[in-house]
Structure formats: structure tokens, C-alpha cells
Amino acid sequence: MSAHLIMTLIKKDLKLFTRNQFYFIMTIVGLVLYIGMYFVMPKTMDETMKLGIYAPGMPLIENSLVNDEGIEAKSFSTLEELREAVLKNEYPVAIALPEDLLTRLAEGEKPIVTVYLSSSTTEEMKGAITALVKQLAFLATGQDMPLEMRSEVLGPDLLGAQIPWRDRLIPMMAIMILGTEILSLAALISTEVEQNTVSALLVTPLKLHHLFTAKAILGIGLAFIQVLLFMVVVGGLSHEILTMTLVLFIGSILVTGSGFLVASLARDMMGVTSWGMLLMIIFFIPALGGMMPGILSGWAKVLPSYHLVDAISRLSNYGASFNDISGHVLIMLGWSALFTISGVLTLRRRYR
């Protein structure tokens, strides 16, 4: 009996969803738009090397790099400025030469050259920089000289294959697709409250838990089908299919719980839009870190969507396994439970 009632409610809610032209059209157009954006963006990377350099008292080396074809180099006056530029990913790689480089080379010593790397720097780039430093030493002395290379990664260490921008955008687009369902579900619930549909339904054998279960199934289903379709089309399921599917499903639960929370906070459709957009912006912030690793501070890790974004990014772009993102899965489940329980308890008081 309960299953039949729930299915009837799901069909009713699905009809209401399709009748709401704004959210229905936004859902369809948004999905098509994100897929189109992915294929329009270039699938190759610009091979020009952006390089920061700190070489105090060595203008010959600085001028040589700045004028070198294939290298976009900038000289920094202080080591602090150089490190900050790498940390912000303005220059993914930088070289810091010691002030007494020439003196040590002349005395036959082995000076230490520090190479600063951002999280997006590849292993191939690291090898190219090593060769470049040796070339600089030859330029300064006229002969091959021994050097000790030391590398330091600024930000999270995610050295790996060169990743095209369109693939870095996959987590952000997935978040935007899922975020749309926060507004859709909240709008559906708010409409029923405003039109007092719930009171009419509750005079039938239906109970509140039937209503909430039906809306939860509808919200999770719509969100999961859309984001899964997107990932299939853009190739996001090419690695760890089951793990990625699990992450997307839990992400769908997370946004459904968020939809309940927004509906409980809003008093009308204007409130749904206001609270929903605020939550979507908060969800979107960690997606910037998926595009440019290392630009976010540690505080972003407290946001619920950080764990979803990082899990999708690691699985689709860095070849991670379930063990690597299992912690994210547990935290997302915790946030989902918190949002859903908070929203449902508030809505129960409102429906009575």
C-alpha cells in the first residue's frame, strides 16, 4: 500500500515539475548548455611555459629567459613575491637562484637552486625546468657546472598528467547541474505549501512520511539521472565507474537534502530563490579549486560541496581510487543526513 501511494505522489510531483516552465526549461537547457560548453572548449593545452624567476644580481640570466621563445617569464624582486605568484597559480613554476650562485660556482661548490611548483605542474614540466636551470648555469659560467636541485610544491601536491581546461571544468559543471535541483525541489515543496495542497492530501490515507519519501526519491532521481548523463557524455566515467557512480549518487542525496533545507527556510517562491541562490553560490566556491588547485584556503574544506568537487576531480582527472576518496563519501553522507533531517523536521511543524 505504501509503495503504491509513494509512486502516485512521485507521478503527481513529476507533473508539477514539468508544469513549472521556468525550472523545467532551466534544467533541460542547463544540461545541454554544460555539455555543449565542454565540447566547445579546446581539448589541448597551450604549451607556452609561464615561468617566474628570482635571480638577484644576474641580469644576463633574467634577460635571456624573458626573451626566450616559448617561455613567458617574469622576474620578481623578492622571494616572497615569487612564492605568492606560484601559490596563486599565476606562474605554475618558478626558479629561485641563490644570491651567491656565481661565487659558489667559481669556488667549485655545489649551490642549491630551488624550484617552486604549483599543484597543476606536471612531471614533464619539472624535468624541463631541471634542464633549463642547467642551461642557465652554463650561460652564466660558460661551462657545465654541478648544481643541487630542490623542488617545493606550493599548495596540494597533485602532480600528474597535463589536464585540459575542459576536463578541469567537469566538477564545476557537475555542481551546477546538481545545484539546479536544489532550487527545483525547494520550489516544488514551496508551491504545495503556498497552495495548501498538503492539507488536502493529508485528509486521505496519505501520511507526511509518504510525502517526504516521494519528494526525496524524485529529487534524488532527477539530480542523479542528469549528472550521470552529463558524465557519460563527457567521458567522466572512463575511470573507476562504480566509484564515480557512487559519488554522483551521494552528491544527488546531498543536493536533495539541501532542497529540503531551502524549502524549510523559505516562506514563498521569492524566499526559495533567495535562499537557493545563496546555497548554490556556497556550493560553487569549491569548484574553483577544481579548476585551479591550490587557489583556495583551508577554510573551503568545511563547505559540504568541497568533498563532492574534490572526489569528482580526483576520480576524473587524477586517477584516484575509492580508498583515496572514501573520507569524502562519509562526510557527504553526514552533511546529507544533517540537511535532510533539519529540513524535514522544520517542514513537519509547518505542515501540521
Could you report the per-residue pLDDT of 111-160, keeping only the tens digit for each? 777 888 776 565 556 666 766 766 666 665 555 656 677 777 775 554 44
Q: For residue 343, give Cα distances in angstroms to 129, 141, 147.
A: 53, 70, 61
Tell me the average pLDDT across 6-21: 67
* pLDDT value, residue 273: 79
Q: Minimum mean pLDDT among 31-40, 112-121, 170-179: which range?
A: 31-40
> Burial code of 153-190, b = ≥16 C-beta within 10 A, e = fewer?
bbbeebbeeebeebbbbbbbbbbbbbbbbbbbbbbbbb
Residue 146: count other Cβ atoms within 10 Å of its Cβ. Answer: 11
Highest mean pLDDT (candidates 79-93, 253-267, 294-308): 253-267
On average, the pLDDT of the chain sits at 75
* Three-class SS state of 128: helix
Give the Cα separation of 314 and 324 in Å (integer).
Answer: 8
Taking alpha carbons only, the member of 278, 276, 285, 277 closest to residue 310 is 285
* pLDDT value, residue 341: 87
Tracing cell 543536493 back to the chain, one arrives at: 255
Instruction: Give CATH superfamily name and number for 49-154.
Output: abc type-2 transporter like domain (3.40.1710.10)
* pLDDT value, residue 250: 93
Is residue 90 over pLDDT 60?
yes
Give the Cα separation of 116 and 157 in Å (integer).
Answer: 12
Taking alpha carbons only, the member of 326, 332, 341 closest to residue 301 is 332
Q: Which region holds residue 142: left if phi is over 0, alpha if psi is between -120 and 50, else beta?
A: left
More confident residue, 297 or 343: 343
Locate the domains of the chain by residue range. Answer: 2-41+163-351, 49-154
H/E element, 117 = strand 112-118
Q: Minimum mean pLDDT among 5-9, 85-89, 184-188, 207-211: which range?
A: 5-9
More confident residue, 294 or 84: 84
* pLDDT value, residue 94: 81
Is residue 78 over pLDDT 80?
yes
Cβ contact 218:252 at 8 Å: no
More confident residue, 41 or 172: 172
Which pLDDT band, with edges at 50, 70 and 90, does 224 fall under? very high
Give the Cα separation of 341 and 337 in Å (integer).
Answer: 6
Which pLDDT band, with edges at 50, 70 and 90, does 284 fall under? confident
More confident residue, 114 or 311: 311
Tell me the average pLDDT across 2-20: 67
Return phi, psi of residue 58, to 5°: -130, 70
Q: For residue 305, give Cα distances in angstroms to 142, 327, 329, 340.
A: 54, 13, 11, 15
Tell me the average pLDDT across 38-67: 63
DSSP string, 270-294: HHHHHHHHHHHHHHHHHHHHHHSTT
Is residue 233 over pLDDT 80?
yes
pLDDT of 237-272, one tens digit each?
A: 887 899 999 999 999 999 998 888 888 888 777 788
* pLDDT value, residue 76: 83
Tell me the average pLDDT across 318-333: 88
Give the Cα separation of 317 and 167 in Å (integer).
Answer: 7
Q: Minimum mean pLDDT among 12-26, 185-199, 271-285: which range?
A: 12-26
* pLDDT value, residue 247: 94
* pLDDT value, residue 274: 80
Is residue 203 over pLDDT 60?
no
Cβ contact 101:58 at 8 Å: yes
Is residue 161 over pLDDT 50?
no
Name the DSSP letter for residue 299.
G
Sign of CA pseudo-dihedral 314, 319, 324, 326: positive
